[in-house]
Amino acid sequence: MTERHSTVKPYQTALPAGFENLRYGVVVRPPHYRWNGEHFTCDRLAHVDTSALKTLPYDAKAVVEGNFVGVVASSIENARDAAKRLVLSWQPHDPLSATPTQQARVNEESRQTQAHKTTGIADVEGGQAERYERDYGWPSRMRWGETEGWVVAESRNDRLEVWTQTSTPQALRQDLSTLTALDADHIALYTSEEAERHVASGLGRHCGDDAAVDAALMARALGHPVAVWLDAQYNVDVKALGQAQRLSLSAVFGEGDHIERYRYRQAHASGEVAAVGLFLSGRTLVPGVLTDTEKPLYSPYTFQNAHLSAHTGRPSGQPLNDTLLGIQQTFARESFLDEVAHARDQDPLALRLHYLDDARGRELIESVAKRADWRVNTPSRIASSDVLQGRGLAYAQLPDRQQRLESGGRSAWIADVEVNRITGSVQLTRLVVGQDSGVEVDTARLQHTLQARVLGEARPLLGSEPAFDEWGNGSLEAKKELPLAKRQSSLERQVVTPNEASSVLPVPLEDTEFSPGVAVIANALFDATGIRFRQPPFTANRIRQALQEQDLEASQGRDSLFLPRKSKAPRRQWLAAAAFMTVAGSAAMAWPWKGAIAPVSRPAANLYSAETIERGRLVAAAGDCAACHTASGGAVNTGGHAFETPFGTLYSTNITPDEATGIGNWSYAAFERAMRHGIGRDGRHLYPAFPYTAFAKTSESDLQALYAYLMTQPAVSAPAPQNNLSFPFNVRALMAPWNALYHDPKPFQPDPAQSELYNRGAYLAEGLGHCSACHSPRNAMGAEKDGKYYFAGAIVDGWEAPALNTLSKSPVGWSESSLYDYLRHGESALHGVASGPMAPVVAGLSELPEYDVRAIAHYVAQQMEAPSGDTEAQQVDAQQRLAVAAVSPSGMEEGERLFEGACAACHLDNGLPSFTRARTSLALNTNLYSDRPDNVIQSILGGVHADTVPGVGNMPGFADSFSDTQVATLATYLRARFAPDAPPWQQLEQRVAAIRQPHHNNTHSSL
């Protein structure tokens, strides 16, 4: 029987109102628990001490049933806090204690796994025969859920009501019935409209079901309605439950290049592993009766000697999920045939047609292939970006309700995907679907449904038309071509809001219609990457990891990223031309992979502990978010600060949790991707003025804390100004190859050879502190240079960020302690104050603990090869410079007059006390010793605004009172007087004129 969304009633709001005595629950899972394919094993709860709960200032109760432990309190924060105070003692699970039968099964399983590993894909089996053998898997939980949200259960008067997200209501109802011993009629399931759109996807269970059982279990135990927060934390269950299905296929080719024997074996036909709460509470430990019967399966292909079997280990009486079964079968079979075709260097399409006797099926596949322009041996495209392109084919044919194959439905899919090598994200760029249902096809309905399930679920970024072509009714009428060219103009303009997306109504699909959906992507992914993914889901994470492993292997003896990495998989020229516009232009997102990360509701402020938020505040201070994300005079973090770059003007964006203009609807996953990979929630590439190249090094826990902090700040509505970049830099998609060349998303790795202080400093300086973003020069493409150029100094925003390595021009050498003074207090006795864009950096650092600032100073000092403290030689050097500078050079009367009039009151020490005298002599100022006059000119024109550094006065800007000539004359004088051993600067007046532009109103230059 097929699961239908109609078994679930929708509700409107995230958390249904009107619960009396609603409590919030959290669960504490055992340290170890897992599903091995047939059995659930877990650590045993030996002892639990709940006495600590009685001493808490709030009411908290523990729910303990078997190995299930939950804590319920009046707020989620209290529940989490209370859960930490439970004293639990777990007795580790001992695999030796398993019963002999169970042990035998485990052995059998591991033997098979082992055999599979050693066999490889092609074994020569006597003579000409070749044997192919492959295992495919299907996970117990496809993912933790659809979106973060509350799951609520209320148990009252022999009736259970559950508000949750589920894609398998049938199985959930079964679990809840097992839990409560209630009849299914007495269990009501509700789901939000948002979640309801996912119900029809038929991919199998996710942890919304586990959370529902958790909530129901606690609600029943306490007699209160209980809310559980479903989020990525439930990934622990996903991992623990592992694989639900193992699908083993083999084929033997005999002489004449023909499959002589074909075998399909499915280990467990039900595929729906019960909720973790049921196992833990001891309600479902062993399936009642293992019905080891063989269920006849279907294959659309005709092989000489075919053996198809499914061994079910489900309890008798539990209904089969036929939709899931169909998708699983199709996935394994179509992946296997694709693998075999590639291994034998055959066209996957021709191989299928060879074994397909069904005339209507053949006609359908051929038509779809023609429509999709399927070609054998297309030439390789020039691989010059980090976007890999691939194409896959899958076909399904399933019997009708009377189990007749010939009158059942047929469905053929060809999908084109693009895989971002850096992020692992997959975009479905084109999908051609052919459908023959045996009866008249309602094309409007099919189109609607595909849109809802393939595109609607992933929220297409752009465009009003779904990016697929579609036929129906066997007549194969061609419809719209994917309008690639047309979309170019809509770049970055239309983002479908959740409301628009949810207006696409989900309509139930026939089983056949969707079953090639998983296989077609797996095959296209293989074509694109050369990597075979044998178990869904194909998350960006998994793909990225696989690609990184592949890179690692490929990197032996090869240093270019762009050499072709495989010879088998054909690449298609015709796509290359459209590649960029397709990435940013149509950007239809693949199901079940999300290029755009679905928007979420802003997480509730009380979700995060005060400690987490405080940690996040420090992370934000270290990362100096506010410095760039706050415009002069604007509210903190609302963006709009302009960056003048060689490529045009960029504006920072609003990072307050406003849902419309800020990051309020960013999930953590989206936030993390932006920080590590420079890709916005909607899938757009961000420009590296946002230093994700450095932020990528931030640790996971710091990023989470930062997310918590930002999400709990006041939301302010502030749309970002339009960037003004010149072509081609305004094409965000070009950031894809840029990232491949210049971005290494690898998190920070401490150097074991270095001290803890050094590694802490390196983590902060290279990561959050993004020191090199300003202090390392960039190449023509705007990427930081490394190696000997690391920390070699650069011009940023019209200011020179001085060298922080051995190239430092500082008149008196730096020491670790002077660096610390400078970073901690904004001022160092032998070097002066932090000004320009460095002033807000120091302001940010002032929030950090002393140890962290010391660590940064230590790390930078190492780059400079600087001593730990100021040496006597440095003191002597400083005194000599001061003595020389005490005398005004002769022959520079004009400059001297300007200096005396404008500067001397603060910059000349007459031996008398003055609160507004600059404490550090210009003779020790690094800027006057630089090869470039930029910072001196900047300071004269715009002043020095060290508002944020305590105890330091401001220098006024002289843009309005000095002409270019006067500034140049003054700068010449300053150089001659205070840096007498450095050569005079040349062409100062032109430089002043160039730098003056932003200062015409005598405004701040630093912020």
Partner 1 sequence: MTLKLKVNGQNVELAIPPTTPLLNALRNDLALNGPKYGCGLGECGACSVLVDGMAARACVLTVASVVGREVTTLDGLADKGRLDPVQQAFIDAQAAQCGYCLNGMIISIRSLLNHTSTPSSEQIGAALEHHLCRCGTHLEILDAAHRAVALNAMALGGVDD
Q: Report the residue number, 343 or 908, with the smaller CB distance to partner 1.
A: 908
Instruction: Please report whether residue 954 would count as binding partner 1 according to CB under 8 A.
Output: yes
Instruction: Please report whether residue 887 would count as binding partner 1 according to CB under 8 A.
Output: no
Q: Report the residue number, 531 or 959, with the smaller CB distance to partner 1.
A: 959
Q: How many residues does the chain have?
A: 1007
Least separation, in Å, of the C-beta of 906 and partner 1? 6
> Which residue from 369, 696, 773, 955 is in contact with partner 1, where contact means CB under 8 A?
955
Instruction: Please report whether residue 915 would count as binding partner 1 according to CB under 8 A.
Output: yes
Task: Output 698-701 pairs: Cβ under 8 A, ≥24 positions apart.
Answer: 698/619, 698/623, 698/747, 698/748, 698/767, 698/768, 699/747, 699/748, 699/763, 700/672, 700/747
> Which residue from 18, 57, 849, 911 is in contact with partner 1, where contact means CB under 8 A?
911
> Which residue from 353, 884, 902, 993 is in contact with partner 1, where contact means CB under 8 A?
902
Instruction: Please report whether residue 590 would count as binding partner 1 according to CB under 8 A.
Output: no
Of 90-98, 726-734, 895-903, 976-984, which part binds partner 1 (CB under 8 A)? 895-903
Instruction: Please report whether residue 904 would count as binding partner 1 according to CB under 8 A.
Output: yes
**In this structure, what token pair is assigned to residue 629?**
């994300």
Of 130-138, 470-478, 762-770, 949-957, which part binds partner 1 (CB under 8 A)? 949-957
> Which residue from 532, 947, 989, 1003 is in contact with partner 1, where contact means CB under 8 A?
947
Least separation, in Å, of the C-beta of 905 and partner 1? 4
Least separation, in Å, of the C-beta of 946 and partner 1? 9
Instruction: Please report whether residue 961 would count as binding partner 1 according to CB under 8 A.
Output: yes
**In this structure, what token pair is assigned to residue 521?**
């992507």
Least separation, in Å, of the C-beta of 910 and partner 1? 4
> Which residue from 97, 402, 567, 910 is in contact with partner 1, where contact means CB under 8 A?
910
Q: Where are the beta strands (DSSP E) in 373-462?
A: 387-398, 409-420, 426-436
Instruction: Please report whether residue 905 would count as binding partner 1 according to CB under 8 A.
Output: yes
Q: What DSSP state is assigned to residue 304?
A: T
Strand partners, 139: 243
Least separation, in Å, of the C-beta of 827 and partner 1? 13
Q: Report the residue number, 478 or 905, with the smaller CB distance to partner 1.
A: 905
How far is it, in rounded angstroms, from Cα 398 to Cα 628? 57
In degrees, rounded to 5, the angle at the alpha carbon of residue 14 between the alpha carbons of residues 9 and 19 is 80
Instruction: Please report whether residue 115 would count as binding partner 1 according to CB under 8 A.
Output: no
Strand partners, 410: 397, 436
Q: Report the residue number, 930 or 939, with the smaller CB distance to partner 1.
A: 939
Of 48-56, 152-160, 782-790, 955-963, which part binds partner 1 (CB under 8 A)? 955-963
How many of the chain's residues bind partner 1 (CB under 8 A)?
A: 23
Of 193-201, 323-331, 800-808, 947-955, which part binds partner 1 (CB under 8 A)? 947-955
How far is it, in rounded angstroms, from Cα 410 to Cα 437? 6
Instruction: Please report whether residue 100 would count as binding partner 1 according to CB under 8 A.
Output: no
Of 140-148, 608-616, 785-793, 910-918, which part binds partner 1 (CB under 8 A)? 910-918
DSSP labels, 344-373: TT--HHHHHHHHB--HHHHHHHHHHHHHTT
Give backbone dihedrals phi and psi of 560, rounded to 5 degrees, phi first: -90, 140
Distances from the Cα of 567 to the Cα of 210, 336, 530, 1004, angstroms = 44, 20, 9, 57
State how far Cα 557 lies from the chain centre: 31
Of 420-428, 609-617, 775-783, 907-915, which part binds partner 1 (CB under 8 A)? 907-915
How far is it, in rounded angstroms, from Cα 86 to Cα 79? 11
How far is it, in rounded angstroms, from Cα 121 to Cα 136? 13
Instruction: Please report whether residue 950 would count as binding partner 1 according to CB under 8 A.
Output: yes
> Which residue from 956, 982, 998, 1003 is in contact with partner 1, where contact means CB under 8 A?
956
CB distance 762 to 750 below 8 Å:
yes
How far is it, in rounded angstroms, from Cα 466 to Cα 190? 30
**In this structure, what token pair is assigned to residue 994?**
């160039």
Q: Report the residue number, 564 or 950, with the smaller CB distance to partner 1.
A: 950
> Which residue from 901, 984, 994, 1000 is in contact with partner 1, where contact means CB under 8 A?
901
Using alpha carbons only, how large is the chain's radius of gyration in Å?
33
Amino acid at 379: P
How far is it, in rounded angstroms, from Cα 735 to Cα 674? 13
> Which residue from 120, 951, 980, 984 is in contact with partner 1, where contact means CB under 8 A?
951
Instruction: Please report whether residue 256 would count as binding partner 1 according to CB under 8 A.
Output: no
Of 18-26, 195-203, 536-544, 944-952, which part binds partner 1 (CB under 8 A)? 944-952
Half-sphere exposure of 602 (CA within 13 A, CB side): 19
Q: Report the residue number, 129 or 902, with the smaller CB distance to partner 1.
A: 902
Least separation, in Å, of the C-beta of 893 and partner 1? 17
How far is it, in rounded angstroms, from Cα 755 to Cα 816? 15
Q: Report the residue number, 806 or 914, with the smaller CB distance to partner 1.
A: 914
Q: Is 859 helix (H, G, I), strand (E, B) or coil?
A: helix
Give backbone dihedrals phi and psi of 53, rounded to 5 degrees, phi first: -65, -25
CB distance 794 to 778 below 8 Å:
yes
How far is it, in rounded angstroms, from Cα 134 to Cα 251? 9
> Which residue from 916, 981, 983, 986 is in contact with partner 1, where contact means CB under 8 A?
916
Strand partners, 443: none
- Of the candidates 151, 146, 185, 145, which has an alpha carbon nearest to the alpha carbon of residue 16? 151
Site map (CB under 8 A) of partner 1, residues 813-852, x = contact: ----------------------------------------
Of 17-25, 336-344, 647-655, 948-956, which part binds partner 1 (CB under 8 A)? 948-956
Instruction: Please report whether residue 914 would count as binding partner 1 according to CB under 8 A.
Output: yes
- Of the candidates 917, 691, 881, which has an alpha carbon nearest to the alpha carbon of residue 796? 691
Which chain residues interact with partner 1 by CB under 8 A?
900-902, 904-906, 910-916, 947, 950-956, 958, 961
